[in-house]
């Protein structure tokens, strides 16, 4: 059973930066694609970033491309999300997810394991 624990959320002003971390345990890590999703109140969970098991492939939606960077350290079983130039519309609970396969998946249905989420609030 894979367990994921996110950290690094908080309150930041518009234009600021945060780095989220997600520590994985309980199963193979380097063979799994990893992703970040977010959910704002009253909205559906949306894709933010994904990285393949090897770290060689990443993908982002247009809404965060150029501002967010996903990376992973397979030696530490940890995935990161560096968020720069934050905007109020980035405010949400951010979830880390682990896939069954090794690709950088963009759909929630490819992810079988989820963390508890960490709140990110961007003030205007």
pLDDT at 7 (0 to 100): 97
Name, in order, each residue with C-beta under 8 angstroms of 16's C-beta and a sequence gap of 6 or more: 86, 122
Name, in order, each residue with C-beta under 8 angstroms of 64's C-beta and a sequence gap of 6 or more: 48, 49, 83, 90
Per-residue pLDDT of 31-72, as tens digits, reads 999 999 999 999 999 999 999 999 999 999 999 999 999 999
16 touches 90 (CB < 8 A): no
What secondary structure letter does DSSP report for 81? Answer: E
Name, in order, each residue with C-beta under 8 angstroms of 14's C-beta and a sequence gap of 6 or more: 86, 87, 88, 122, 123, 124
- Numbers of helices and strands, H then E, in the chain: 0, 11
d(CA 13, CA 122): 5
Residue 1 pLDDT greater than 90, yes or no: no
51 touches 71 (CB < 8 A): yes
Residue 27 pLDDT greater than 90, yes or no: no
Per-residue pLDDT of 86-123, as tens digits, reads 999 999 999 999 999 999 999 999 999 999 999 999 99
């Amino acid at each position: 059973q894979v367990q994921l624990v996110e950290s690094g959320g908080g309150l930041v002003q518009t234009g600021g930066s945060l780095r989220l971390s997600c520590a994985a345990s309980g199963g193979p890590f380097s063979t799994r694609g990893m992703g970040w999703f977010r959910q704002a109140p009253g909205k559906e969970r949306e894709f933010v970033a994904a990285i393949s098991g090897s770290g060689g492939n990443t993908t982002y939606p247009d809404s965060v491309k150029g501002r967010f960077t996903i990376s992973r350290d397979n030696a530490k079983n940890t995935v990161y999300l560096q968020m720069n130039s934050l905007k109020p519309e980035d405010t949400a609970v951010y979830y880390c997810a682990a896939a069954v396969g090794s690709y950088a998946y963009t759909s929630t249905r490819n992810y079988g394991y989820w963390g508890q989420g960490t709140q990110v609030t961007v003030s205007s």
